[in-house]
Amino acid sequence: MRKSLLYGVTLLLIIALLATFSFSCKKQEEKKIEYPTKAVTIICPWAAGGGTDALARFMADAFSKKFGQPFVVVNKTGGGGATGHTAGALAPADGYTLTLVTLEIATVRSMGMGDVNVDNFDFIIQLNQDSSAVIVKADAPWKNLNELLEDIKKNPGKFSFSGSGAGTIWDLSRIGMLNTAGIPVDSVKWIPTTGAAPSITELLGGHVDVITCSLPEAKSQIDAGLLKALAIMADERDPRFPDVPTLKELGINWSSGTWRGIAVPRGTPKEIIDIIYNAALEVANSDEFKNFMNQRGFGIKIRGPEEFEEFARKEEERWKEIIKLGGYAQ
């Protein structure tokens, strides 16, 4: 009888201890994934007022409403995106510093502009992708891209291109297109500017012959009949510009463009990454986000953590070769 009683008491004690341990573990787990409990910084590697800044501020506002904590955009500009991406990579890996990463995280190191690359980040979600296009004045003599390329072949050094700074995505897009078409990349001159807007001004003024930038950036001038797009460097036609053919349709197997998404320093706890991803995905599926992107002319492209990182790594390898072709490799 005593043995049975002792056994029963022991069993009850074990059950109680296990229950206490389980409850304690559960509590610790709940405490571990509590996020956010204070203000969160979103680093934007580009200047206030630009497209990347606008997207960063939209996401910051949406996150602030969802989490009940301030999400504050901080613009850290310079070095062709290197300054902001470096600041984001070197921040504590605790989820309280996000970076609105752009394509330049895949080119900064190869360009010799900084020592950060894809390895420095855990990628959470891609939100945007915009293809480059080939744009000329409405009264330019070329009816299509193939006519332009033939003219370049016959007259190396005669024509000038622009779109942004030297070694930026619109310049690299131009290099990749010419190379894929079998044309030496130095057959045309690249005239650097500070962005697509001043490049459009140069084109309209007759100071350059061609620009490569996204179609939305030149939409108002195209709609006004001042410019015309000869082709887009995309896998498929842009439904907003259905009459503009892709390079692939014209026999040139090349696509290129810029992209944006959210990343955190490498080593950020997975639980926090999951929380941010789920919140960002909910925002990306909202009508408010879709309306914002459409109004800005941004292409929507959603990739989750694993797919986004895989895409970024492929981009890094791909652009290394193009950067070498352009003579920008360090």
Q: pLDDT category, 300, cuts 50, 70, 90?
A: very high
The predicted pLDDT at position 18 comes to: 55
Determine contact, residues 114/45, Cβ cutoff 8 Å. Answer: no
- In this predicted model, which residue has the larger pLDDT, 137 or 193? 137
Whether 1 has a pLDDT exceeding 60, the answer reads: no
- φ/ψ of residue 124, rounded to 5: -105, -55
**Where exactly does CATH 3.40.190.150 map onto the chain?**
40-130+258-325
Tens digit of each residue's pLDDT (9 = 90 or more) over 215-272: 988 989 999 999 999 999 999 999 889 999 999 999 999 999 999 999 999 999 999 9
Per-residue pLDDT at 47 exceeds 50: yes
Q: Which of 87, 80, 77 shows the shortest CA–CA distance to 111?
A: 80
Give 202 or 19, the one with higher predicted confidence. 202
Q: In the predicted model, what is the mean pLDDT of residues 22-49?
A: 76
**Helix intervals (H) in the chain:** 2-32, 51-67, 82-89, 145-154, 169-180, 196-204, 219-223, 270-284, 287-296, 305-325
pLDDT tens digits along 188-197: 999 998 788 8
Confidence of residue 10 (pLDDT cuts 50, 70, 90): low
3-state secondary structure of 157: coil
User: Does residue 286 or residue 194 have the better pLDDT?
Assistant: 286
Checking if the pLDDT of 9 tops 70, the result is no
Is CATH 3.40.190.150 what the domain over 40-130+258-325 is classified as, yes or no? yes
Q: What does the pLDDT read at residue 4?
A: 54
pLDDT for residue 279 is more than 70: yes
| Angle, alpha carbons 78-83-88 (nearest 5°) | 145
- Do residues 122 and 131 touch, judged by C-beta distance below 8 A? no
Instruction: Work out the average pLDDT over 159-169.
Output: 92
What's the mean pLDDT when you consider all of the chain? 91
Return the structure tokens found at 7. 């056994």
Nearest to 304 by CA among 268, 276, 326: 276
User: Alpha helices of 33-122 — where are they, by DSSP H?
Assistant: 51-67, 82-89
* Residue 162 or 217, more confident: 162
Among residues 158, 155, 173, the alpha carbon closest in space to that of 209 is found at 158
51 or 32: which carries more pLDDT confidence?
51
Q: Which of 27-41, 136-150, 209-223, 315-329 has the highest mean pLDDT?
A: 136-150
Residue type, 323: I
Backbone phi, then psi, for 115, in 5-degree steps?
Answer: -115, 20
pLDDT at 217: 87
Determine the average pLDDT of the residues in 162-186: 94
Distance of CA 117 to the CA centre of its chain: 13
CATH topology of domain 131-250: D-Maltodextrin-Binding Protein; domain 2 (3.40.190)
Mean local confidence (pLDDT), 3-17: 51
pLDDT at 8 over 80: no
Range(s) of the chain covered by CATH 3.40.190.10: 131-250
By the 8 A CB rule, do 99 and 43 touch? yes
